[in-house]
Structures are given as C-alpha cells and as structure tokens.
Amino acid sequence: MAKKEFYSFYPGCSSQPKASADNFLRSSNAMCDALDIKLKEIDDWNCCGASIGYAGGGEVPRLSLSARNIALSQQQNGDADIVAPCAACWIATREAQERVEHNPKVGEGINAALAEIGLKVESGKMPQARHMVEVLVEDIGLDTIAKGVTKPLEGVKIAGYVGCQTNRPFGIAGESFENPLYLDHMIEACGAQAVDKYEKKVACCSGALMFSEPEKGHALVKDIIEAAYDGGADMIVTPCQLCQMNVESYQSNINKTYGTKFNIPVVYYSQLIAVAYGKSSQEAALDGQIIRAGKLEDIANK
C-alpha cells in the first residue's frame, strides 16, 4: 500500500495537549513531519468509551460514541482512513463498525441515536479505521523508514513492549498474536538493538484496572519491567498510551512494595523515529518523560 494523501486523525483523549500522552502527541507530530504524513484532525471527536466504558455505558450508548466519530470523519474527510494512535480508540472504532455490519439490531440502535444529531453510519460504507502503526508498517514501510534515518540510535538496547490492544484482537496484518515482530523491526530500522525474545512482549499492563486495582496492576507491571532488565534493555518502547503510563509512572510505587530498584525509561516508537530522523530532544518530547531516556537525549543533542 502506498502512503495516502492525508489521514483523518482521531488523536483520542490521552493524546491531547497537556494530557497524559502529551509526549506522544508532540513526538508523533515530529515523526509525521519527518515522514511527511499529513493528518487532518476530526473536528469535535469524542471519547471512544475506552475499555472501561462498558460498566456505565451499555452496548448501544458506548458504540454510539465511536459511531459519532466515524460519521463526523466521513462528513469532514470523506473516505479518508481514520487513523488513531491509541489502541483503545482504534479497537472501539473497529468494534463499532463490526457491530453495525454484523448485528442489525445494535446497528439500528446506533443509528437511532445518531439520528438525534443528524448523523448516520451505513454498513459497508464506512471509512477504514487504522492504527498509526499500520500506516508506518503498511503504507510507508519499515525499509523506507530505515533509509531516511540520519542519526541511528547506535548502542541503545530496547525492549519492544507491544502490550495487548495494539496486538489483540485485531493486531497488525501478518503478525502473530504471541510474538509480533514489527516493533522489534521498527527499533532496528532506527538503528537500535532490539531485545531478543523479550518475554513480556505481549503481556498485559492491567489497563484501566491500574486505577481501580492498583496492587494487581503493579504486580503485572513488575514482571514486564523485570523481563526488560533480564533482556539487558536500556529502555522500553511501546506503541500504547496506557501501557506507557502504566509501565513508566508507577515504578517508584512498585519499588516501595517489592524492594526493587526499577528506573527504566519507557518511550514511544514516535520518539525513536523522531530522534533517528534528527529531531531535537524537545521535538521528540523527551522532556515529557518522568524517567528520562538519557541515551536518546544524548543522541538527539549530538
């Protein structure tokens, strides 16, 4: 597939200025600039309901949220692919499409709700909903990305933590659920070294349960970090906003509970690409890390 003229951008709640993935947003802008990816943000997009929306929402209200985004995207950006950098947003959008296509009753409810605001979605006529990673892997290609690298991330060893929702239930075409390789290849395309056989590559960070069941969440994250250290990683890279937050920001809590001494940076793929393409430390939003990625900053500042 070739790069599209532009993509209909659905950033999602965490990737807004001064929200928890502000560092993703900034570095993604730098990455898109470097790779000449053009994004047109969907005006007035709303939350997808995330993975916890089911509790208060119910099926039709929850899916109506995503249907509104699909309909707005179509109204504003025609058939352009909807691109979400957030796994939860991407999954929710695709799930809403699937349900409209396969469950006429739910589809009827969604359209009844959308009719209240003069919108509708039609089975078989919705734009494709894609993850930002799909654009990089499928439309641009990792070989092409590797060719444009001006500052290879030499001497940095990185654990590619794919997590759950970027990988399941849909995942990236051609990759296995148990051992997807695209993130390792992306690390290598940037000139860094990927941790071989990172044991917790597709393990769960506890998702939204980090907030409601913190002890259980900390236990899962502890294993994810431990496995990265075991693989000799200098840092962890992830495609997911919630994984980034959960794995980076609770390390001091985990250290208190378990007597560990974790202090490992957790960055986004967009930060790796931005730095490898010569963007500054600030453009790559390395100042947005709670645990600073010193090795990347050194390369960016060179």
Q: Could you please report the per-residue DSSP string of 117-133?
A: TT----TT-SPPEEEHH
The number of helix segments (H) and strand segments (E) in the chain equals 14, 8
**In whole angstroms, how far apart are CA 78 and each of 48, 75, 84, 234, 276?**
20, 6, 16, 43, 34
- If the CB atoms of residues 128 and 255 are measured against another protein, the closer one turns out to be 255
CB of 147 to another protein, least distance (A): 32
Contacts of 52 (CB under 8 A, 6+ apart): 208
Site residues (CB under 8 A) for another protein, limited to 90-119 = 105, 108-110, 112-117
Among 42, 65, 183, 276, binds another protein (CB under 8 A): 65
CB of 152 to another protein, least distance (A): 27
- Nearest-angstrom CA–CA distance, 100 and 218: 37
Report whether the peptide linkage leading into residue 169 is cis, meaning its omega lies within 30 degrees of zero.
Answer: yes
Is there binding between residue 160 and another protein (CB under 8 A)?
no
- If the CB atoms of residues 191 and 239 are measured against another protein, the closer one turns out to be 239
Per the listing, tokens 């957030």 go with 86
Is there binding between residue 181 and another protein (CB under 8 A)?
no
Across 156-283, where does the E strand assignment appear? 157-160, 193-194, 235-238, 266-268
Site residues (CB under 8 A) for another protein, limited to 271-300 = 287-290
CB of 158 to another protein, least distance (A): 20
Is there binding between residue 249 and another protein (CB under 8 A)?
yes
Query: How many residues sit in the footprint of another protein (CB under 8 A)?
Result: 63
Is there binding between residue 85 and another protein (CB under 8 A)?
no
Is there binding between residue 165 and another protein (CB under 8 A)?
yes
In the shown chain, the binding pattern of residues 199 to 238 toward another protein, with x for contact by CB under 8 A and - for none, equals ----xx-xxxx-xxx--x---x------------------
Site residues (CB under 8 A) for another protein, limited to 32-61 = 44-47, 49-61
Burial 44-76, CB ≥16 within 10 A → b, else e: ebeebbbbebeeeeeebebbbbbbbbbbbbbee
- Nearest-angstrom CA–CA distance, 299 and 154: 9
Query: Which residues of this protein are in contact with another protein, per CB under 8 A?
Result: 13-14, 16, 18-23, 44-47, 49-61, 64-65, 68, 105, 108-110, 112-117, 164-165, 168-169, 177, 203-204, 206-209, 211-213, 216, 220, 249-250, 252-253, 287-290
